Amino acid sequence: MSTVGRGRRRTRNIVGAATAAVTLLAVAGCAPSTTGDGGGDDGGDVTIEFAQWWEPELPDGEFRALIDKFEEANPDITVKLVSGPYASTKEQLFAGAASGTMPDVVGLDGAWVNDFASQGVIADLTALMEENDYDDSQLASQIQVDGSTYMIPVVNFVYPMFTNDDLLAQAGVDAPPTNRTEFADAAAKVSALGGDVSGWVLPLSLETPNGVQNDVMSWVWASGGSMLKDGQPDLTNDDVTSAVDYIGGLWDDGVIASGSFTMKEQDKVEEFTNGRAGMMIDSLAHINLIRETNPDLKFSISALPAEDGYDGERGIPYASWGIGVAENSEHKDAAFKLVSFLMSEETNSELSTMANAFPGNSESVPAFVEDDELFKKAFEIYQAGYPANEFTGLPVAEELMRQLGEQLQSAFDGQQSIDDALKKAQEAWKAEF
C-alpha cells in the first residue's frame, strides 16, 4: 500500500491511490557501470548511469550543464546520462527491470513504484537516507510502499487545459470554458470550422494508456469525484459514470480528433501544436516544446472544466519526474549523492525553473512564477485546487489504465454501453486488487 510523506509547506491534501498521494527508467541490456575492480564506491572514481526522459524535454544543454555542476562538486563521480523520449524510455525500463540491468539512477513515474518495489528492483530510499544522514525535512513529498520511500518526486507538473486562442476566437468562443456545457459548446464550434480541425484531442492508446489517467479520469477529479472507495475500485459510482457519459457524448458528437484509439500523449501534443485541436489537457512540461515548435501559436491555460454548478475545490491532474536508485547498482552511495544534489534547495529551484514545474524541495522557488504569465496562471490554478492522481501507488497501475481503456474503446465504438464498460472494468480492477 502506498503512502506519501509531506514537507512543511505542503498545506493541501494530495489525492492518491491508497491515501492522500502525490504523482521511468532503464535501458535494455545496459548494466550499471562499474569501476575496474568491479566493487562498490570505495574503489576510487566511479561512473554511474542516470536514465530518464527529462533531458529531451528541457531546453537544449541545460540538464547536462546541471549535471556538470554535480561532477565539479564530486570529481570522483562521472554521470552518464541515458536519455530518450518518455515512451521509449518506459519500454527500456521494463526490460531492464526484468533482466536486472537497471542503470544506477532512474527517473520514475509514480504509477510504477508499487510494482518495482514489489519486484525488488528499486532500492529502499529510506534506508539510503539513514545511511547517508540525509535530512528529508525539505522534501515536499515521498512515494512510499509499506512504510519505506522508493521514489522522491523531483519536480511536479500539473495538467491544466490548453486552449488554442486563435481557433476559439475564429469559432466565436470568447474565453476558455469553465464547465462541461461550455466545453461541449466550444468543442462543437471549433469542430465546425472544418478541415482537419477538431474541438478536443483525446489519446486512448492501449500501448501507452496514461490518457485514461490524464484525459479521462481528470474529468472526475476536476469536480471533486473519486474512482476509489476505501482504497478499493469504485468505477460505477455517479461521479465516474457522469464523467464518462459526458466524454461519450462528445465522442458521439464528433468533436474529438480522429485516431484516438492509437494516439499517445506525444501525438496529442503534436495535434495541438500544429493547430489541429482547439483544446487539450496536458502537462506544463510541454509548454517550452510547443513554443519552440510553433512560435506563432497563441494559446492559454486554464483549470479543467467542472460539472455545471460545481463550486468546490477542483482536483488537478499531475505527474512527477520522480527519482530512484536501482537495487542492482554497485554504487548506491554515489547514486544517492546525485539524488541529494537534485533535491537540494538551489539545484531544485534551477531544475524546476528550467522544467517549468513545481519543485520537489518545499523551500525551492521557481523563477517562472513571476517571470512568465502562463506559469503564473498555472500556479494560481494549483493554489486554488488540489493535485489529484489516484493511480499513484496502486498495484499494476498502468494495467488498470489499460483495462479501463479497453472497455472505453469498446463503448465509444458502439459495441457496448458506458454502464457495461464501467462494470466490466470494475470487475477487472477488483481482480488486480
* CA–CA dist 291, 297 (Å, integer): 7
Contact assessment for residue 185 and residue 177, using Cβ atoms and an 8 Å cutoff:
yes
What confidence category does residue 43 fall into, taking pLDDT thresholds of 50, 70 and 90? low
Domain presence at residue 308: no
Mean pLDDT of 280-304: 93
What pLDDT, on the 0 to 100 scale, is given for residue 152?
Answer: 95
Could you read off the pLDDT of 202-228 as tens digits, one per residue?
Answer: 999 999 999 999 999 999 999 999 999
Residue 10 has pLDDT above 50, yes or no: no
pLDDT over 90 for what percent of the chain? 68
Domain range spanning residue 15? Answer: 2-158+319-388
Domain count, the chain: 2
* CA–CA dist 109, 424 (Å, integer): 27
More confident residue, 343 or 394: 343
What pLDDT, on the 0 to 100 scale, is given for residue 196?
Answer: 94
SS (H, E, C) 217-253: HHHHHCCCCCCEECCEECCCCHHHHHHHHHHHHHHHC
Strands (E), 303-377: 315-325, 358-359
282: which 3 cell numbers?
496536458
Mean pLDDT of 235-240: 98
Which segment of 13-22, 101-110, 149-158, 298-307 scores lowest on mean pLDDT? 13-22
Which segment of 124-138, 167-181, 187-201, 385-399 scores lowest on mean pLDDT? 385-399
Mean pLDDT of 281-305: 93
52 - beta bridge partners?
83
Q: Beta-carbon neighbour count of residue 8 at 10 Å? A: 11
Same domain for 150 and 14?
yes
Half-sphere exposure of 285 (CA within 13 A, CB side): 21
What confidence category does residue 9 fall into, taking pLDDT thresholds of 50, 70 and 90? very low
Residue type, 97: A
Contact assessment for residue 342 and residue 321, using Cβ atoms and an 8 Å cutoff:
no
Domain presence at residue 312: no
* CA–CA dist 421, 277 (Å, integer): 27
What pLDDT, on the 0 to 100 scale, is given for residue 94?
Answer: 85
Mean pLDDT of 271-296: 93
Same domain for 76 and 105?
yes
Same domain for 141 and 184?
no
* CA–CA dist 280, 259 (Å, integer): 15
215: which 3 cell numbers?
484525459
Same domain for 184 and 134?
no
Contact assessment for residue 306 and residue 86, using Cβ atoms and an 8 Å cutoff:
no
The CATH number for 217's domain is 3.40.190.10
Residue 23 has pLDDT above 80, yes or no: no
- Nearest Cα residue to 90 out of 52, 124, 40: 52
Half-sphere exposure of 346 (CA within 13 A, CB side): 4
Contact assessment for residue 377 and residue 301, using Cβ atoms and an 8 Å cutoff:
yes
Q: Is 339 helix (H, G, I), strand (E, B) or coil?
A: helix
* CA–CA dist 182, 350 (Å, integer): 38
Which segment of 293-307, 349-363, 404-418 scores lowest on mean pLDDT? 349-363
Which segment of 91-105, 168-182, 234-248 scores lowest on mean pLDDT? 91-105
Domain presence at residue 67: yes
Same domain for 216 and 251?
yes
What confidence category does residue 385 fall into, taking pLDDT thresholds of 50, 70 and 90? confident
Q: What is the gyration radius of the CA atoms in the chain, in angstroms?
A: 21
Domain presence at residue 231: yes
Domain presence at residue 310: no
323 - beta bridge partners?
107, 152
3: which 3 cell numbers?
503512502
What pLDDT, on the 0 to 100 scale, is given for residue 388?
Answer: 85
Domain presence at residue 261: yes
Same domain for 32 and 170?
no
Give the H or E element holding residue 75: none
Q: Does the global pTM surpass 0.85?
A: no
Same domain for 29 and 139?
yes
What pLDDT, on the 0 to 100 scale, is given for residue 258?
Answer: 95
Residues with Cβ < 8 Å from 202, sequence gap 6 or more? 211, 215, 216, 247, 256, 257, 260, 263, 268
Average pLDDT of every residue of the chain: 88
Same domain for 92 and 43?
yes
Same domain for 207 and 86?
no
* CA–CA dist 69, 80 (Å, integer): 14
Could you read off the pLDDT of 124-180 as tens digits, one per residue?
Answer: 999 999 999 999 999 988 888 888 999 999 998 889 999 999 999 999 999 999 999
Helices (H) and strands (E) in the chain, counts: 18, 15
Domain presence at residue 314: no
Residue 327 has pLDDT above 70, yes or no: yes
Domain presence at residue 328: yes
Mean pLDDT of 248-253: 98
Sign of the torsion angle spanned by Cα atoms 39, 42, 45, 46: positive
Contact assessment for residue 80 and residue 360, using Cβ atoms and an 8 Å cutoff:
no
Pairing assessment for the beta strands 46-52 and 77-83 based on DSSP bridges: parallel
Same domain for 204 and 138?
no
* CA–CA dist 132, 24 (Å, integer): 24
Give the H or E element holding residue 142: strand 141-145
Same domain for 256 and 400?
yes
Same domain for 403 and 377?
no
